Structure 1
Amino acid sequence: MTRPETIIPPEPESPFPITHESRIISGFGRGSSELGIPTANIPITPDLNQLDTGIYYGWCKVIPHVQENDEKFIRKNGNEVIINHGRTLCKSELTILPMVMSIGWNPFYHNKEKAAEVHIIHKFDCDFYGASLKYNVLGYIRPELNYTTKQALIDDINLDISIAKQVLLEKEAYRQFKDKL
């Protein structure tokens, strides 16, 4: 499927905004390691499940759980994950940040489970598995697509990030939702 033209309405339209808070869960570990685009995976809520599969944009904020101890988790691929609940994040990483969210099956990877993966548009110094993510979804960029190469997937994700930054930072009707988290 060819990437369709992205049409952004002047302001969020129904069913947006969708606002929720979820614990960040361990995903497949491909965002950072394979694509260079880390994601925070969150459970599919009923509101997210009703959306078409595809790429969305909005604002988010990581909320640490400082009272919880580290835990270890072993992924199916054997890699160990430390769940630190976001305790090591610095103050500047706890601000409201722009994000893109993929909701779907990730056909390039042939997933058997539907996933919600959030790429927070910020360079974090460490992982924050087990923290919570408060977010609002404000709009839709494009449908979920399949790719013939990993580089084509990376290029499209980077275009999604560019579109999200432009909309969220330059359009007041979207920028105002930053203050509503």
Structure 2
Amino acid sequence: MNFVLLFESIILIILYMTSSRPFDKPIPKSPESPYPIVTNFCDIVSGFGRGSAELGIPTANIPIDQVPNAARDLEQGVYFGFARIESIDKEERIEPRENHRNVEYNYGKYLEQSNGDFDILPVVFSIGLNPFYHNKHRTLEIHIIHEFKRDFYGAKLKFNILGYIRPELDYTTAEALIADINKDIVIAKRVLDTDDYKKFMQVLL
């Protein structure tokens, strides 16, 4: 193994992940109007199944009509905040998806307190049409920055919106989309780890 080349590759990755992009928006030291925007508990529903299967970045899909008007009126793009999941005592069911993959609605039955699944967790999410996939309807897709062991369709999610990272973009390749989502995650984690943003975790209790 050429350790020099390996080291240089790691440095290039770090530089990419920490450098700003021309379309990134300045993020203030603490949330500014219209933030924070806080939701009630919303349903986690089945989406197109592309986050995990095609991008390796699972998302929780929230019906856009369940979020406050202030969130619906936001510019299409990528945002960040915190979220908290709540399981529901309901009988499991299977729902067919248009792509012929069945979806297990277990309502969060298999979430684990010991795994931190019910903690208040950082999130990055998109609001928009996702032009790479040519969506016809505005969607809200949340990536919870946490390692879950099972899916949790049907559970409830309460979240806040604390800031804006960048506008929605079109992409020519899935690889470019994945690279930017990973950079969005790095930005969100860095900002949400500051005291001026972490204090907004409390509104979700």
* Distance (whole Å) between structure 2 residues aligned to residue 109 and residue 152 of structure 1: 13
Measure how far apart 1:47 and its partner are: 2.5
Match of 2:96 among 74, 92, 95: 74
Q: Give the letter for the 2:83 counterpart.
A: C
> What residue in structure 2 maps to residue 88 of structure 1?
110
* Distance (whole Å) between structure 2 residues aligned to residue 95 and residue 175 of structure 1: 13
Conservation of the 8 A alpha-carbon contact between 1:3 and 1:145: no
**3 and 106 in structure 1: CA distance in 2 versus 1, 3 angstrom threshold:** farther
Conservation of the 8 A alpha-carbon contact between 1:41 and 1:116: yes
* Distance (whole Å) between structure 1 residues aligned to residue 60 and residue 96 of structure 2: 17
Q: Give the letter for the 1:176 counterpart.
A: K
Match of 1:60 among 83, 100, 115: 83
Match of 2:70 among 15, 23, 47: 47
* Distance (whole Å) between structure 2 residues aligned to residue 5 and residue 109 of structure 1: 22
Q: Give the letter for the 1:76 counterpart.
A: E
In percent, how many aligned pairs have the same letter?
A: 52
What SS class does the counterpart of residue 162 from structure 2 fall into? strand
Deviations 1:144-166 (A, max 9, x none): 00001100000000000000000
RMSD: 1.0
Per the normalisation by structure 2, the TM-score is 0.85
Conservation of the 8 A alpha-carbon contact between 1:10 and 1:173: yes
Matched, 1:26 2:46: yes
> Which of the pair has the greater relative contact order for Cα pairs under 8 Å at 6+ separation?
1
* Distance (whole Å) between structure 1 residues aligned to residue 172 and residue 139 of structure 2: 20
Structure 2 residues without counterparts, runs of 5 or longer: 1-20
* Distance (whole Å) between structure 2 residues aligned to residue 161 and residue 26 of structure 1: 22
Q: Number of residue pairs matched?
A: 178
Deviations 1:71-102 (A, max 9, x none): 11111111100000001100021100000010
> What residue in structure 2 maps to residue 165 of structure 1?
189
Measure how far apart 1:130 and its partner are: 0.3
* Distance (whole Å) between structure 2 residues aligned to residue 3 and residue 136 of structure 1: 26
* Distance (whole Å) between structure 2 residues aligned to residue 28 and residue 113 of structure 1: 12
* Distance (whole Å) between structure 2 residues aligned to residue 59 and residue 9 of structure 1: 17
Per the normalisation by structure 1, the TM-score is 0.96
* Distance (whole Å) between structure 1 residues aligned to residue 109 and residue 36 of structure 2: 29
> What residue in structure 2 maps to residue 38 of structure 1?
58
* Distance (whole Å) between structure 1 residues aligned to residue 97 and residue 78 of structure 2: 25
Measure how far apart 1:3 and its partner are: 4.8
Q: Give the letter for the 1:63 counterpart.
A: E
* Distance (whole Å) between structure 2 residues aligned to residue 107 and residue 17 of structure 1: 27
> What residue in structure 1 maps to residue 25 of structure 2?
6
> What residue in structure 2 maps to residue 113 of structure 1?
137
Structure 1 residues without counterparts, runs of 5 or longer: none
Which protein is richer in helix relative to its size? 2
What SS class does the counterpart of residue 113 from structure 1 fall into? coil
> What residue in structure 2 maps to residue 15 of structure 1?
34
Q: Give the letter for the 2:112 counterpart.
A: C
Which protein is richer in strand relative to its size? 1
What SS class does the counterpart of residue 78 from structure 2 fall into? strand
